[in-house]
Structure 1
Amino acid sequence: MKVVQVCKYRNDTVEGVDLFEEVIRAAQGHDRSFYIFHGEAGNLGERLGCETVAFNFSKSDIKRIRPSAVLKVLRQLRRDKPDVIITHRMKPSVFVAWCALFLPGVRKISVVHNMGEFKRPRRRLFAKLLMRGWKFAACSEAVRQDMLLRGFTPDEVVAIPNSVNEKIVRDNLLDREQARRDLGVPVDAPRVIGTVGRMRPVKGHKYLIDAMRQMDNPPHVVVIGDGELLDEMREAAKQHGLADRLIFAGGRKNAYRYVSAFDAFIMPSLREGLPIAMLEAIAAGVPGYGTPVGGIPEILRDKRWLFEKESTEAVKTVLEYLGSATPEQLEETRREQYRIFDESFSIESYHARFRSLMEGGDGRL
């Protein structure tokens, strides 16, 4: 087969465990091309062993779905003559939907990464009119259920849970002491709790500040991530006298490598699809705790590992537990969570299910 994957950009913050890359890896053995609308392809083609096409569209070309840009993609698709086209996120899907009007017989797969991707009525109308016959691969059962509630049919949508390559994660972890030094955490800190995620309101980082303000002796907490709230969160931690215990470390390329600094992982999110960062932590041997939103309960299947969202008191309670839990208690949680990861989130299963979709199957094992 000829398989073409279409993305808005190359994810240059992570290499090796990126899902854009893992989906196209699922098509190994077939002729593969990776289209990128904005930015450069870098060494992507060499790393994945496939052709790359960088269109170098402006952000305006993509936002406005300019006909000239759509025509450029159509011309490339006609040259490549794909049997399967895979899109990630909405804008590439819209481009391909218009192109597909002139490409009969091509299988189309849209990978849906977030809750509410089709919340807007005009998106649902567009999908109904121009994405008939597509298969939608939801990143979690929660995202699948969200799409079913919005009018998609069970035949259209299959849940293929996100995954990470455990070997890549473990092979690239930093030494624990080095990771702590790089993050600005005392190497000998008795307990370090960490999280990874963009500095946005939806990630719930403010509840860490609010909770730690109420604690007499909070554990060290590290937040890895860049974004709009970074400076504000750093200043708030400083104002409340938490700067030595609550560290907003900023963005890190291949952030999963720093998970070795943590004794436990916490995710106080308000909304999630199925968080890669949580899977990376568990693959690295770090027990995880999070809110029961989106696909998080599909990973954290024991209620003891979940805490109420948007609740300062709930975050305080879990931080107090993690600060005082014995190594044996944390190890028991780690073993149970790793068993779930191994059974349900292996990269081999992820690849097999996407291959099934590409080859005309239903994406189920």
Structure 2
Amino acid sequence: MDRKLKLLYISEATSGGLRKNVLDLINNIDKDKFEVHFIYSDIRADDIFIDNIKVLSKNISTYNVKMVRNLNFFEDIKSFLKINNIVRKVKPDIVHCHSSKAGGIGRLIAYINRVPKIIYTPHAYVIQNPNIGNLKRNIFYIIEKLLARLTTTTINVSNGEKQFAVQSKLIEKQKSKVIYNGIENIISDIGNIHSKRNELGLSREDFIVGVASRLEVQKDPFTFIKIAIKVCNHMPNVKFIYVGDGELSLDIRKILKQNNMEDRIKLLGFRDDISEIISVFDIYMITSLYEGLPYSLVEAIACGKPILATNVIGNNEIVIEGVNGELFEKGNIEQGFHKLVGMITDQEKLTRYSEESLKMYSSKFTIDNMIQNVELVYYNKTS
């Protein structure tokens, strides 16, 4: 190759799993092949992103452009004009947009500026949300369908997400590539696990069920908390940990206080040591209403955790019923409760699930696999 390809990432969301995906791509993509640029918005950035962007800005070209999550004509126009100026200046060979807002603005700008390759990763489509209103659903459907025509390749993070998009006639099957989110090996040694348990005020006798997830509607923390309360009322040695913050934090804390469960169900808020905390869990339980492919679950299997998860897109490709965990229907508190109790009381099953989770991670969800497959998409070798 005579020169590096100019690669421009665009992302409005800069927290949680999406933040991790974008930063992992930027940090691990082959810099001998790609000249990397990054447009981001810090409005929804978490502390980890803020710390990382300071370092990244010394090594790649970064541009902070304010973008808002919801549709807002005036704010979106301002973002559009600023991003358009950057694209005209950079003249990228590839634009890779992440999630709906950056995907909307970025793909249109890339098309107008005749960028050769336009890549889009939705990280779950807005219209997957079962609680979205019909008007909003129809608006986003039309936008996604129109923009798909401008897109060279859509990177879907799970087969279920791709199937949803194809069956909904959002995208053409041949223009999608499924690439699982991948992470580095993070398994902790026993000494670190005991140290972290002590730090969190947990005894070695406590059985810990936990999750790392935003306290937002999509993640359905209410189902997590209701299952946790039922289990705590039946099993005195079980405690629950919820790592994450969000708009539902006050509502969840109110429920815990009303049920006198603040000591048994711990809300840790935002943490930058998530993988270390996951390592102390005996079971990882996630209650999402919908997903693309949750990074927290990938981290959980990389730590060798047995999983209890809602049977939704993404979750059910990481968790295989009866192999490395179990599935229950979203919002079904009774089913989740009975499955969790069954797992807690069967150590042989937990040991088997743990071993299979590690195998699942090693075979499908390493960061090397993810980077290699993304680079193939950038070179248009998607066969």
Does the pair score TM above 0.5? yes
Deviations 1:43-67 (A, max 9, x none): 4373597423223426499843544
Structure 2 residue matching 1:249: 3-state secondary structure: strand
The whole-number CA distance in structure 2 between the counterparts of 1:248 and 1:231 is 11
Which residue of 2 is the match for residue 223 of structure 1?
A: 242
> Of residues 214, 223, 230 in structure 2, which corresponds to 1:198?
214
TM-score, normalised to structure 2's length? 0.83
Percent of pairs identical after alignment? 21
The whole-number CA distance in structure 2 between the counterparts of 1:199 and 1:170 is 25
Amino acid in the other structure paired with 2:346: A
> Of residues 319, 322, 337 in structure 2, which corresponds to 1:300?
319
> Of residues 337, 340, 360 in structure 2, which corresponds to 1:340?
360
Equivalent pair of 2:65/2:82 in contact (CA under 8 Å): no
The whole-number CA distance in structure 2 between the counterparts of 1:254 and 1:170 is 13
**Structure 2, unaligned stretches of length 5 or more?**
129-135
The whole-number CA distance in structure 1 between the counterparts of 2:54 and 2:376 is 23
Alignment CA distance shift 1:107-1:67 (3 Å): same
Give the C-alpha shift of residue 361 in structure 1.
2.0
Which residue of 2 is the match for residue 26 of structure 1?
A: 29
The whole-number CA distance in structure 2 between the counterparts of 1:129 and 1:213 is 46
Structure 2 residue matching 1:243: 3-state secondary structure: coil
Give the C-alpha shift of residue 31 in structure 1.
1.0
Give the C-alpha shift of residue 42 in structure 1.
5.1
Which residue of 2 is the match for residue 282 of structure 1?
A: 301
Equivalent pair of 1:32/1:51 in contact (CA under 8 Å): yes
Alignment CA distance shift 1:138-1:130 (3 Å): closer
Q: Does 1:177 align with 2:186?
A: no
Alignment CA distance shift 1:165-1:37 (3 Å): same
Which residue of 1 is the match for residue 371 of structure 2?
A: 351
Amino acid in the other structure paired with 1:252: R
Which residue of 2 is the match for residue 143 of structure 1?
A: 161
> Of residues 277, 295, 310 in structure 1, which corresponds to 2:331?
310
Alignment CA distance shift 1:48-1:262 (3 Å): farther
Amino acid in the other structure paired with 1:314: Q
Equivalent pair of 1:44/1:52 in contact (CA under 8 Å): no
TM-score, normalised to structure 1's length? 0.86
> Of residues 233, 242, 250 in structure 1, which corresponds to 2:261?
242
Give the C-alpha shift of residue 114 in structure 1.
1.1
Equivalent pair of 1:265/1:287 in contact (CA under 8 Å): yes
The whole-number CA distance in structure 2 between the counterparts of 1:173 and 1:81 is 50
Alignment CA distance shift 1:174-1:228 (3 Å): farther
Equivalent pair of 1:38/1:59 in contact (CA under 8 Å): no
The whole-number CA distance in structure 2 between the counterparts of 1:46 and 1:143 is 33
Which residue of 1 is the match for residue 60 of structure 2?
A: 51
Alignment CA distance shift 1:81-1:141 (3 Å): same
Q: Which has the higher contact order (CA 8 A, sep 6+)?
A: 1
Amino acid in the other structure paired with 1:232: D
> Of residues 120, 128, 132 in structure 1, which corresponds to 2:149?
132
Amino acid in the other structure paired with 1:111: T
Alignment CA distance shift 1:49-1:139 (3 Å): farther
The whole-number CA distance in structure 2 between the counterparts of 1:350 and 1:284 is 18
Alignment CA distance shift 1:173-1:225 (3 Å): farther
The whole-number CA distance in structure 1 between the counterparts of 2:172 and 2:90 is 31
The whole-number CA distance in structure 1 between the counterparts of 2:37 and 2:89 is 12
Which residue of 1 is the match for residue 133 of structure 2?
A: none
Aligned residues: 357
Structure 2 residue matching 1:193: 3-state secondary structure: strand
Which residue of 2 is the match for residue 96 of structure 1?
A: 106
The whole-number CA distance in structure 1 between the counterparts of 2:69 and 2:14 is 18
Alignment CA distance shift 1:156-1:313 (3 Å): same
Runs ≥4 residues deviating over 6 A: 171-174
Structure 1 residue matching 2:279: 3-state secondary structure: helix
The whole-number CA distance in structure 2 between the counterparts of 1:26 and 1:173 is 32
**Structure 1, unaligned stretches of length 5 or more?**
none
Please give the residue correspondences for 1:8-27 in structure 2 after superposition, counting only pairs within 5 Å: 8-11=12-15, 18-24=20-26, 25-27=28-30
Structure 1 window deviating more from structure 2 (291-300 vs 41-50): it is 41-50
Give the C-alpha shift of residue 265 in structure 1.
0.8
Equivalent pair of 1:213/1:242 in contact (CA under 8 Å): no
Equivalent pair of 1:264/1:287 in contact (CA under 8 Å): yes
Amino acid in the other structure paired with 2:235: N
Which residue of 2 is the match for residue 253 of structure 1?
A: 272
Give the C-alpha shift of residue 355 in structure 1.
0.5
Structure 2 residue matching 1:85: 3-state secondary structure: strand
Give the C-alpha shift of residue 249 in structure 1.
2.0
